[in-house]
């Protein structure tokens, strides 16, 4: 008989009909010749209850129905006498598809996330990771839907690149050169003419530069793909491989950009509240009791729009009033996560879009303000996350952009194609990057970014 998914089985009301369900045993208990199985197949956080009478089943088979085992159940759908569930399955036949002995690492409840990370390949079968992964999927759907409905084109930028978008230099090199016998030139420098691409290449840190080419032709594009950063930051908010969404829009100014950032994030959060109710209810109960309240509050209020200079003033006033921070924050400093969170969580108590940063702490492509000191960046800072979006208006003037590139002593040989956007038919434009896992952190209430991606890549860890 055709399998019914648990999510559908729980909605069926044709009591008395035959039904087949398959899944993994969450738990089994028994009393007075009857056993009860909580079965989950990943389609929903909810389990379906299977009821069987010991006398109808082979004792050895019933013994194999342990936590983690995979089973197929043929039975009859019945109305459930138990509270909290409409239906259950009265088992007629049970087949153990995959037994699961006591060495199964996920069998105990309440294991630490750190323990589960060491078994990241099996943690997906737990309630928490099932909920997080279903929400992750839903957020991807929200993002594609939002941009599609707003006339953006999904634009695919390369993962292997010869240019360093953020200019931070923390890229993973890509090569087919023999690392055990590295060919060098007469000066002892590594050559690349004999490498696969004939030039030094790396995994991309951002698709923005290519995205700008898309936007200045198609009007509005977005990327959604993996991004790689070899930054050695072992924090709960950094991954070496993460997913980024980068919309880029022609004819947008700073105001348009901030409006889009806010509208887009709110749409995603609303989507989660509308489409992930069961998983959010579970996480709200088990992980973070203020989760749903926090999601709803983000929707209610306008984001604060705060120039960097004003942010520094607020932080320094807090310091004068006795607030202690680990890192300094004088004008010109890059804000640390503790500063961002102070502004968002303690001072304003709502999300902040910080703008107009000192040019020294931002990337070369941002539009310079008339003061000559600040750039039109527009980062979105979120409660419990800190920076969730990094964005900016782009410098569209070739002269100004070249001046900035020279000031930074950047090599333009791998950027000429980018500069062509400014040489021919340049236009005002802007864009931003949303860290997908940071959004998932916010929406799930999880604390560590390693726990919102199936197989995290972090310093000294590429397992699975």
Contact positions vs ligand 4AD (CB under 6 A): 165-166, 206, 208, 229, 231, 238-239, 242, 244, 246, 387-392, 431-433, 435, 437-438
Which partner, Mg ion, ligand 4AD, none, binds residue 166 by CB below 5 to 8 Å per kind?
ligand 4AD
Q: In what order do the strands lie in the sheet with 374-382?
A: 153-154, 220-228, 241-250, 429-435, 386-393, 374-382, 352-358, 304-307
Q: How far is the CB of 334 from ligand 4AD (least distance, A)?
A: 11
Q: What is the separation, in whole angstroms, between the first and last Cα of the chain?
A: 35
Is the CB of 390 or the CB of 445 nearer to Mg ion? 390
Cβ proximity of 156 and 218 under 8 Å: no
Q: How far is the CB of 391 from Mg ion (least distance, A)?
A: 9
Spatial contact of 96 and 65, defined as CB atoms under 8 Å apart: yes
CA 230/CA 205 separation, integer angstroms = 9
Least distance CB 411 / ligand 4AD (angstroms): 19
Q: Give the residue with the Cβ less far from Mg ion, 163 or 206.
A: 206
> Closer to Mg ion at the Cβ: 75 or 435?
435
SS3 (DSSP) at 319: helix
Question: How far apart are CB 280 and ligand 4AD at their closest, in Å?
Answer: 21
Considering the complex, what minimum distance in angstroms separates the CB of residue 208 from ligand 4AD? 4
What is the CA angle 195-461-136, rounded to 5? 100
DSSP H/E element including 423: helix 416-423
Task: List binders of Mg ion among 380-399 (CB under 5 A).
Answer: 390
Q: Which does 394 bind (CB under 5 to 8 A by kind): Mg ion, ligand 4AD, none?
A: none
In the bound complex, what is the minimum distance in angstroms from residue 216's beta carbon to ligand 4AD? 14
Question: CA nearest 155: which of 252, 256, 260, 247?
Answer: 247
Which of ligand 4AD, Mg ion, none sits in contact with 420, Cβ below 5 to 8 A by type?
none
244 binds, among ligand 4AD, Mg ion, none (CB under 5 to 8 A by kind): ligand 4AD
Q: Are 214 and 152 in contact (CB under 8 A)?
A: no
Residue 433 as a binder of Mg ion (CB under 5 A): the answer is: no
By CB under 5 A, name the binding residues for Mg ion.
390
């Amino acid at each position: 008989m055709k399998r019914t998914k648990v999510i559908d089985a729980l909605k069926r009301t044709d009591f008395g009909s035959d039904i087949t369900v398959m899944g993994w045993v969450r738990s089994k208990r028994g009393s007075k010749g009857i056993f009860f199985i909580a079965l989950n197949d990943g389609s929903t956080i909810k389990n379906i209850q299977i009821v069987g009478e010991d006398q109808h089943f082979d004792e050895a088979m019933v013994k194999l129905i342990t936590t983690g085992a995979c089973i197929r159940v043929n039975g009859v759908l019945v109305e459930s006498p138990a509270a909290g569930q409409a239906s259950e399955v009265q088992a007629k036949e049970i087949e153990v598809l995959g037994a699961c002995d006591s060495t199964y690492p996920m069998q105990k409840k309440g294991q630490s996330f750190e323990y589960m990370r060491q078994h990241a390949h099996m943690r997906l079968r737990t309630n928490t990771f099932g909920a997080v992964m279903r929400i992750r999927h839903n957020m991807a759907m929200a993002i594609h839907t939002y941009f599609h409905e707003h006339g953006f084109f999904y634009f695919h930028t390369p993962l292997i690149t010869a240019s360093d978008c953020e200019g931070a230099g923390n890229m993973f090199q890509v090569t087919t050169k023999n690392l055990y016998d590295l060919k060098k030139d007469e000066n002892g420098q590594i050559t690349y003419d004999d490498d696969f691409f004939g030039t030094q290449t790396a995994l991309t840190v951002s698709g923005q530069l290519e995205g700008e080419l898309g936007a200045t032709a198609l009007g509005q594009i977005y990327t959604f793909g993996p991004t790689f950063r070899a930054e050695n930051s072992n924090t709960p908010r950094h991954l070496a491989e993460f997913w980024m969404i980068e919309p880029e829009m022609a004819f947008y100014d700073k105001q348009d950009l901030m409006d889009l950032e806010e509208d887009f994030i709110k749409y995603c959060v609303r989507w989660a509240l509308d489409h992930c109710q069961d998983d959010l209810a579970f996480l709200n109960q088990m992980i973070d009791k203020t989760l749903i309240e926090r999601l709803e509050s983000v929707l209610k209020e306008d984001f604060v729009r705060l120039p960097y200079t004003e942010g520094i003033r607020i932080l320094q006033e807090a310091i004068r009033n006795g607030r202690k921070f680990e890192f300094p924050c004088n004008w010109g400093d890059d804000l640390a996560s503790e500063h961002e969170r102070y502004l968002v969580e303690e001072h304003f108590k709502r999300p902040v879009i910080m703008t107009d940063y000192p040019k020294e702490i931002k990337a070369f492509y941002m539009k310079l303000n008339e003061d000559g000191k600040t750039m039109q960046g527009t980062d979105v800072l979120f409660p419990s996350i800190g920076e969730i979006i990094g964005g900016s208006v782009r410098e569209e003037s070739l002269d100004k952009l070249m001046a900035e590139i020279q000031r930074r002593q950047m090599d333009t040989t791998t950027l000429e194609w980018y500069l062509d956007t400014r040489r021919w038919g340049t236009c005002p434009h802007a864009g931003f990057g949303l860290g997908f896992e940071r959004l998932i952190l916010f929406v799930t209430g999880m604390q560590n970014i390693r726990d919102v991606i199936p197989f995290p890549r972090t310093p000294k860890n590429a397992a699975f």
